[in-house]
Amino acid sequence: MKNALLTFCFLFVLVMNAVAQNGPANPAVEKTSNSVTRLMVQSIGLNESEYIVVKSLNQERLMKAAEVAKMYGNDAEMRDARLKEIEDTFESELFKVLNSRQVEAYSEFKAKPEGNFLSMVQEVTKASKN
């Protein structure tokens, strides 16, 4: 039991260190990913280890989305296609972490305004411009 607890603590510190080093340079991404992940915890029922993974996935997808929005600001068709790819990749990685009940809860969460990926991207890009 002690070994399992020590191993968990070691892994937690290791993951937190990696997140701190690779965290987003964009404060809007950080704020939005924290907010969305907290909402997902409430809606989906994530445990602590799932929270850490989902927060990292959210940060990664929002960083990529902000880059795409900046890169393809004048080409809506290409921007939307790239954002769809980012969302599909996010969901495939997310579904590896979640159980079937949580996947269903995620589908419900995604239908809500606060779970809408495009509104998250708009929030991040607006905050980045300011």
pLDDT, tens only, 102-123? 999 999 999 988 888 877 777 7
Per-residue pLDDT tens over the stretch 26-44: 788 888 889 999 999 999 9
Q: Does residue 9 or residue 69 have the better pLDDT?
A: 69
Of 129, 122, 130, whose CA–CA distance to 62 is shortest? Answer: 122
Helices (H) and strands (E) in the chain, counts: 6, 0
Written as one string, the DSSP assignment of 36-57 is: HHHHHIIIII--HHHHHHHHHH
The answer to whether the beta carbons of residues 116 and 110 sit under 8 Å apart is: yes
- pLDDT range class, residue 81, cuts 50, 70, 90: very high
CB 115 within 8 A of CB 60: no
Nearest alpha carbon to residue 54 among 18, 90, 12, 9: 90
Determine contact, residues 58/37, Cβ cutoff 8 Å. yes
What is the 3-state composition of the chain as percent helix, strand, coil, each rounded to the nearest 5?
90, 0, 10
Specify the pLDDT at position 57.
Answer: 95
- Confidence category of residue 17, pLDDT binned at 50, 70, 90: low
Domain that holds residue 85: 2-129
Q: How many domains does the chain have?
A: 1
